[in-house]
Structure 1
Amino acid sequence: MENQNPVHVFATWKVKEGQIENVLNLLKTVHDESVKEKGNLFYTIHQSNSDANTLVLFEGYTNDDAVLQHRESVYFQEIVLGQIVPLLEKRDIILATPVHY
């Protein structure tokens, strides 16, 4: 059965030297489009204090289907996959469901 619980995305990106400003500029559009999505709960971008070329994206979605819709969106395909990923040295993504006690 498909997960109907909230899904949080933790994405860590190591940006290639000299490309951080380009990536941050592109992420502005990705952020603005993501928060408009019906299934988006939040979308925050963090820059590492110890390595300015490392970004951590923390995103929240209502369920698995909302994550899939996000990843299939035109802007995600064109900007994230088409323009940002080539500017990264490394990209790690973890999908997690919050644990409630």
Structure 2
Amino acid sequence: MSSNAITTFAKWQVKEGKLETVLALLANLSPQSREENGNLFYNVYQSTTDPNVIVLLEGYTNEVALAEHRNSPYFQKIVIQEIVPLLENREVILTTELKLKDI
């Protein structure tokens, strides 16, 4: 496993009529995620062109911290059991920062 910081981009397409429920669940999830030892940031955004598109930008100190987040009981309950069934689509991209040199 890498010791590099991991940034996660998650794009959720919420089912029609389920946005308020998803936002209420995120309001419960966000503070718990931010309190994790390995969490660097946890930001939630909403598309300006489609309000049913939610984008999460999350940072973790390393892959171990990300795994701990994903395996936490509250993540499993809130995201996997409660939010995912309310989504049309869910895309998650894990990244590490590239250190580009000036040319």
Q: TM-score, normalised by structure 2?
A: 0.95
Partner of 2:95: 96
Rounded to whole Å, the distance in 1 between the matches of 2:28 and 2:73 is 12
Instruction: Report whether the alignment pairs 1:70 with 2:69.
Output: yes
Partner of 1:53: 52
Q: CA RMSD for the aligned pairs?
A: 0.5
Tell me how many residue pairs correspond in the alignment. Answer: 100
Q: Following TM superposition, by how much is the alpha carbon of 1:13 offset from its aligned partner in structure 2, in angstroms?
A: 0.1
Rounded to whole Å, the distance in 1 between the matches of 2:9 and 2:42 is 10
Rounded to whole Å, the distance in 2 between the matches of 1:91 and 1:32 is 21
Could you give the per-residue CA deviations for residues 56-99 of structure 1, whole angstroms, max 9, x where no partner exists? Answer: 00000000000000000000000000100000000000000011
Q: Following TM superposition, by how much is the alpha carbon of 1:29 offset from its aligned partner in structure 2, in angstroms?
A: 1.0
Rounded to whole Å, the distance in 2 between the matches of 1:36 and 1:60 is 12
Q: TM-score, normalised by structure 1?
A: 0.97
Instruction: Report whether the alignment pairs 1:41 with 2:28.
Output: no
Rounded to whole Å, the distance in 2 between the matches of 1:7 and 1:52 is 27
Q: Which amino acid aligns with 1:54?
A: V
Dislocated runs of 4+, deviation >2 Å: none
Unaligned runs of 5+ in 2: none
Identical aligned pairs, as a percentage?
50
Partner of 1:23: 22
